[in-house]
Amino acid sequence: MARAVRTWLTHLDVERGVSPNTLSAYRRDAARYLEHLDREGVTSPAEVTQAHVSGFLSGLRTGAGGHPPLAASSAGRSLVAVRSLHRFLALEGETTDDPAARVAPPAPPSRLPKAIAVDQVERLLEAASLGDGAVPLRDRALLEVLYGTGARISEAVGLDIDDVDTTAGAVRLHGKGGKERIVPLGSYAREAVDAWLVRGRPELAAKGTAGPALFVNLRGRRLSRQSAWAVITTAAERAGISGDVSPHTLRHSFATHLLDGGADVRVVQELLGHASVTTTQIYTMVTVQQLREVYAQTHPRAR
């Protein structure tokens, strides 16, 4: 069974080209799945039944093997990995059927993406640029790019200088599965990136081996996801924005504000890099909620 998992992970890495973060998550999920099968006495893919997969999912939710119970969303993600594994084994002829195909993931609670208001975004951007020197220039440029393009944090820190064309006003983002997309870059983001490239980046890049990286840290190396997260957290505290403000908050705000402004959901889908419009449609629930609030506050017969 362990050999089958290694073959599957190699397939994901070499042939499918999944991102390092996704591959790492799948490796962790597979390790826990192997622990479950070992407790069940299963040693080969042909021995796995639907009951084994269902039992694994149940153990994820209740906690098993010394692991704490997982939320529905986390358990569902682990099940996705297991289903991918067994689908691969069936297609490769390692098994005659797919025991995970009919095991449905738990339904996660309906949660709307968190977005902050436009004025809060402006306060956040201003807070990021407080102070003198290269770091405020970098932080402002990073947040302008995140909010101006809806990029994932991994896409933003993965940008190289050549990925950004401030003259044409466009940025090339490298998304999940090696997919690339071109996203417009607004004037505010262009100005912030230009200021960072001219007045900030040379100072920090000279301290290390940043190479082509657009955003670099104090040691002159490519900025990490964790450091970028800290930039946003610090800016939110300075701006007095309560709650959990994360890199994904800016991505949610980007999508929500576009839809509030009348953008077509399929355009937003392309900008976000979603494979399916179904993923994007959750943002329309946010705008419907806003409409309901406005209606309740303004229509004389709303109550």
Is 152 marked active-site? Answer: yes
| Phi and psi angles of residue 231, each rounded to the nearest 5 degrees, phi first | -60, -45
Catalytic: which of 87, 221, 225, 274? Answer: 274
Catalytic: which of 123, 140, 174, 251? Answer: 251
Q: Largest Cα–Cα distance in the chain?
A: 68
Catalytic: which of 138, 140, 152, 174? Answer: 152
Instruction: Please report, as a single letter, which amino acid is at residue 68.
Output: P
Catalytic: which of 176, 181, 225, 238? Answer: 176
Is 248 marked active-site? Answer: yes
Q: With b meaning 16 or more CB within 10 Å and e meaning fewer, what string describes 224-251?
A: eeeebeebbeebbeebebeeebebbbbb
Is 283 marked active-site? Answer: yes
Is 33 marked active-site? Answer: no
Catalytic: which of 11, 77, 172, 248? Answer: 248
For residues 152 and 249, what is the distance between their CA atoms, to the nearest angstrom? Answer: 10
* Residue 255: Cβ-neighbour burial (10 angstroms; 0-12, 13-18, 19+): buried
Is 251 marked active-site? Answer: yes
Active site residues per annotation: 152, 176, 248, 251, 274, 283
